Homo-oligomer: A and B are copies of this chain.
C-alpha cells in the first residue's frame, strides 16, 4: 500500500464545461474510515455523464460541495474494513471518489461478482451500474417485446450499447443514434444493431420517418436535449419513452418536449434511475454474464491510464464525435487488468 493519496478536488461549481478550472489534482491525506466505512484502493474509476450533474446541482444525491474530493463510482480493493462482511483484499464496486484511495460505505457498494474469466474492468463495463441500467431499463421499464421498434440514443456509450444489444436479444428492431461514422459502424457491424443514425451528419427525424412510417415503439433516451423531441415526434401509438440520461441538457437548458404528440399518441414518458431498482442487480448480473459467456453480448471499455488524466478523459463524454466508445474508465492502479 502506497502512502501517497492524490485526488481531484472540486474547487468551484462548474460554469458550462470549465472542468479544468474547477477540478484540481491535489495530494491529500490518506482517508480514515469511520466505523461503518472501508478504505479502498481505487483500481478503476468510472466516468459518467451523471458526474457532471452531481457537480451542478442536487440530483438523486446532494450537490458535490466545493472543497470535496469529487465523487465517483470506483472499482477497488479493500485495504482496511470497519464493515462486517468486507475484508482486506475484497474487490468492491461502489460510490467512492476520484482519488487513489477512497472511503466506501455499504450503501451503493457491492462485492464484485465472479467475473468468470472476464477482465476485471468488466465489473464496470458489463456488470454493475451500466449493465444494470441497460437491463432494467429495457426489460422492466420499457418492457421491450419481440417485433417492437427500439431506438436508443447515446448508443455507443456504456448504457446505450448494452441496451441496444439487450433489446435485440428480445427480438426488437434496434436503431442506435450516435455521433460519428466510426460509432455507427461499430453499432451495426460489431454489435448487430439493425440501423445506426449519425445525428451529427444525418436528419434523425427523416431517417426514422423513412424507416418506420408506423412509428417507434420505444425510445431509450440517454441524452435528452433537442434530440428527445425529434424522436418523440415519431412515436407509435402507445409508445414508451424511457428517460435514462440527459447529458445534452447541460448545454440546452429549458423545455424540450412537445406534449402534443405525446397526448395524441398516448405515449408514456418515464423517468428512470437505477437506484430505484437495486434489488434487480443480481438478476441483471446473472443475465449479462450468461449472454456474455455465450458471445451474444459485447462490452467495450475505453480505458485511460492514470488518475492525472481523469479530467481530460471526462471531457470526451461531452465532445460530440469523440472517439470514445463503450464504458469510459480511468485505470488508477497500473497493475489492474
Contact = CB atoms under 8 A, between A and B. Distances in A.
B246 A263 contact: yes
A257 B254 contact: no
A289 interface: no
A272 B263 contact: yes
A262 B245 CA distance: 11
Nearest to A60: B264
A264 B50 CA distance: 11
A266 B259 contact: no
Interface string A65-92: 0000000000000000000000000000
Chain A interface bracket (under 10, 10 to 19, 20 to 34, 35 or more): 20 to 34
A259 B224 contact: yes
Interface string A255-274: 11111101111111111110
A6 interface: no
A190 interface: no
A298 interface: no
A266 B273 contact: yes
A229 interface: yes
A127 B280 CA distance: 44
A167 B303 CA distance: 53
A36 to B, nearest CB: 25
Q: Nearest 4 CB-CB pairs, A to B?
A: A269-B269, A263-B271, A257-B257, A266-B271
Given A253-B258, A256-B258, 15 more contacts: A59-B264, A224-B263, A229-B255, A238-B276, A243-B263, A245-B263, A254-B258, A257-B257, A257-B258, A264-B273, A265-B271, A266-B272, A268-B270, A268-B271, A269-B269
30 contacts: A59-B264, A224-B259, A224-B260, A224-B263, A228-B259, A243-B262, A243-B263, A245-B263, A249-B259, A249-B260, A255-B255, A255-B256, A255-B257, A256-B258, A256-B259, A257-B257, A257-B259, A263-B271, A263-B272, A264-B271, A266-B271, A266-B272, A266-B273, A266-B276, A267-B271, A268-B269, A268-B270, A268-B271, A269-B269, A269-B270
